[in-house]
Structure 1
Amino acid sequence: SAFLQGAAGDASSRFVRRGRDHAEVRTLGGHLATSIARTLAAAASAIGASGPVRLTRSSLHLPYRDVPSIEDSLELRESAEAEWQHELAHHGEDHPAVRIAQTRYEGCAMLAAMAATDRPTGCAEVPVSVVSLGDIAWLHTPFELFASLGLRIRRGSPFRHTRVIGYTDGYLGYLPDAEGHRDGLYESYVTLFGPDAADVLVEHCLKVLRAHRLSAA
């Protein structure tokens, strides 16, 4: 058996947790165990894992984001810190709103640090590969994709079972979806890419999956 990290860029307990004690650990662990048990039960049936192992490699170019000026970045950081302190005073430190506000501040602080240094310009070459075995395909990218992007790729894939894998052939950081950018989540501040990059990557992944499927015909 092997573990491959999926599209889990926004998998975080900060959105739901109610504490940091052993009781909360048991609660979250119970939810996880239930999900695993359901997945194992669903995977018990045959899933068409036969035939040769095939590989397709591709790449695309994604432009790096425009980073705000140092002045604008510092203003964002100060605003985020004020929001964090407001939520902390209102809710106490264990409330999800406080953790979200805190991580937003941390993201803004990293953005300000990025604005003060030599950040990448031009485009990044992004490797995307597909490995398949019968009706199963593994789609690999070098990102921490938000879960919604992985679901879009799975829904559009011509394979019966598609696993979307991150952290492969290098590492290019977080790739948030449009909602993550809209909501100002931590990952939207520290990503190297703009809001349009997610759609471009999803379309490329689906194109590669379809071509890979057709090449077996």
Structure 2
Amino acid sequence: MTLKVGAAKLDVTPPIGVMMAGYGARLTPCEGIHDPLYARALALVSGQRAAVMLSLDLAGLDISLCERIRRAVEGLTSVSRDCVVVAATHTHSGPQTGRYGADWADKGWVAQLVRKAASCAAEALRRARPTAVGYGEGDAGEVAENRREPGGPVDPRVRVLALDDLETGEPLATVVNFSMHPVVLRANNTLISADYPGYLCRFLEEWGAGVAVFLQGTCGDVRPRLRGTDDLEESFRRAERVGRIVAAEALKARDLAWDLRADVSVEARSAEYQLEVRPLPTLREVREALESVQPSLASAKGPEERAQLGVRLYALRRLRFLLESRVVSGRITTTSTYVSLGSVAHLLTIPGEPLTRFGLELREELGLEHLMLVGYANDYVGYVPSAEDLRRGGYEASTPWCVLTERSVGEMLSALRGLARGGP
């Protein structure tokens, strides 16, 4: 059975003035657009089976918004929502999408995002044509570091899917899976930007690699070694530099993927599962705390105090959102998706910010070659640490940024293992 693939991208840049996501220390609306944000879609078809992968230049999306997009894709294309992946690149210079309360998100833009993402997927499917696919790997570990532990683990691999037109041999698309926070740009940036993944995709496309689709990996505790400065122009130069380094490694991996095949079957499925949530404050307690933070912000003395209060506001708004919209009887319901291209490659989504050790443990358990773990996909439950990371504590293991327990980390591993293996 011959694989067919189509790829497309569509501008989803929000208007000036939207609230930005990514930093509690930055509460001002965006003041301009530095570079556009895109929806990038890849449609995979074999016979009657099809799957769609959407990558959005956003910080993250809650399951409610992901479901709106997945159902919109299903409505436009007839591809089952269970075979649709909606992933965020996790740029910290994009707009709010509702994870901290719907009132911080621009509802008109969000509605446009849903329509544009679905349209992008439909266009990718319309363009589907016979394709050869291959897998390659590179190493860009020099640009990344573990922010929790000096010398701690990172996943240095740049995992690449090369997709070429079967008739002409020309590149149709390149999928890049790499694990590193898009935080070259710091909280002092008030311009919309895709950060280094945007530059990475731009370079690959300029270099003739087809439509570039970036899928963020297990980067919850990983940041760039090269960070921004107080000089915004220099910060953007650094983001471009990091993007170029990873893009070059991805292009090398693509060119070294010799054995491209077209006789590949597409398989895709999703599974819902529940996770135990640690004890949280009551909704009443959170609302009362929020009422006291707002006046404090207004009277904050200096940028440092305002930044601290901003982080506090972020935390309380996240708690309120979880308690109002997600947590039921001490549990949270989420979802993951598995996509395979025969023996060429496997893709498995994680609904949050997986830390490096969690990803390494999952890889070891599954034992799958050519496995792309995609974080920030189809939902966002917060940080997803390993049991060891939970015991170590720290920011990524603290409430409300992480609401999981050792038991629920095990529940997620079990659910992902079952999904990838095709059983319970």
**TM-score > 0.5, shorter chain as reference:** yes
Match of 2:332 among 124, 128, 132: 124
Report the alpha carbon displacement of residue 167 of structure 1 after superposing the two structures with TM: 5.4
**Residue 417 (structure 2) aligns with:** 206
Evaluate the alpha carbon distance shift between residue 87 and residue 202 of structure 1 in structure 2; reply closer, same or farther with a 3 A threshold: farther
2:304 to 84, 88, 92: 88
Name the CA shift for 1:118/1:6 in 2 (closer, same or farther; >3 Å).
Answer: closer
Letter in 1 for 2:304: L
Q: State the Cα deviation string for residues 66-121 of structure 1 (Å, max 9, x = none).
A: 322417x949x97xx99x989937xxx9xxxx7xx576424333256459858632
Corresponding residue for residue 175 of structure 1:
383
| 1-structure distance, mates of 2:373, 2:264 | 20
Instruction: Normalising by structure 2, report the TM-score.
Output: 0.37
* 8 Å contact from structure 1 (residues 59, 128) kept in 2: yes
In structure 2, how many angstroms separate the alpha carbons of the residues matched to 1:159 and 1:7? 24
Of 157, 171, 194 in structure 1, the residue corresponding to residue 404 of structure 2 is 194
Aligned to 1:55: 268
Corresponding residue for residue 136 of structure 1: 345
**Aligned ranges for residues 126-165 of structure 1 at < 5 Å?**
126-133=334-341, 134-141=343-350, 143-148=351-356, 149-165=358-374
**Residue 275 of structure 2 contacts residue 404 of structure 2 at CA under 8 Å; is this kept in 1?**
no
Q: Tell me which residue corresponds to 1:21.
A: 232
Describe the shift of the 1:65–1:26 C-alpha distance in structure 2 as closer, same or farther (beyond 3 A).
Answer: same
CA distance in 1, matches of 2:259, 2:414: 26
- Write out per-residue CA displacement over residues 136-163 of structure 1, whole angstroms, 9 at most, x where no aligned residue: 011134x232352445434543322112
Question: Residue 8 of structure 1 contacts residue 145 of structure 1 at CA under 8 Å; is this kept in 2?
Answer: no
Show the counterpart of 2:177.
Answer: none
Contact 2:267/2:339 (8 A) holds in 1: yes
The two structures, once aligned, show a CA RMSD in angstroms of 4.4
**Over 4 Å off, 4+ runs:** 6-10, 47-50, 84-87, 114-119, 178-181, 185-188
SS at match of 1:25: helix
Matched, 1:68 2:284: no
Work out which of the residue numbers 235, 238, 242 in structure 2 matches 1:31: 242
Instruction: Return the TM-score normalized by structure 1.
Output: 0.64
2:336 is paired with a residue whose SS is strand
Call closer, same or farther: CA 1:121–1:36 in 2, change over 3 Å: same
Q: CA deviation at 1:186?
A: 9.9
1:105 to 312, 331, 354: 312
Q: Distance in 1 between matches of 2:245 and 2:237?
A: 12
Counterpart-to-counterpart distance in 2, 1:7 and 1:199 = 25
Task: Give the direction of change, closer, same or farther, for the CA distance of 1:116–1:129 in structure 2 (3 Å limit).
Answer: closer
SS at match of 2:395: coil
**Aligned mates of 1:37, 1:115 — CA distance in 2:** 40
Which of the pair is proportionally richer in helix? 1
Q: Which has the higher contact order (CA 8 A, sep 6+)?
A: 1
Structure 1 CA distance, aligned partners of 2:359 and 2:280?
26
5+ residue gaps, structure 1, are: none
Distance apart, 1:65 and its partner CA: 3.9
For 2:319 and 2:250, how far apart are their aligned partners in 1? 41
**Could you tell me how far apart the structure 2 residues matched to 1:146 and 1:60 are?**
17
Alpha-carbon distance in 2 for matches of 1:200, 1:88: 39
Alignment correspondent of 2:181: 11
Bigger share in strand: 2
1:131 is displaced (CA, Å) by 1.4
In 2 relative to 1, CA 46–157 (structure 1 residues): closer, same or farther, beyond 3 Å? farther
Evaluate the alpha carbon distance shift between residue 59 and residue 120 of structure 1 in structure 2; reply closer, same or farther with a 3 A threshold: closer
Residues 138, 162 of structure 1: 8 Å contact kept: yes
Deviations 1:10-40 (A, max 9, x none): 8242564333511111012201220121122
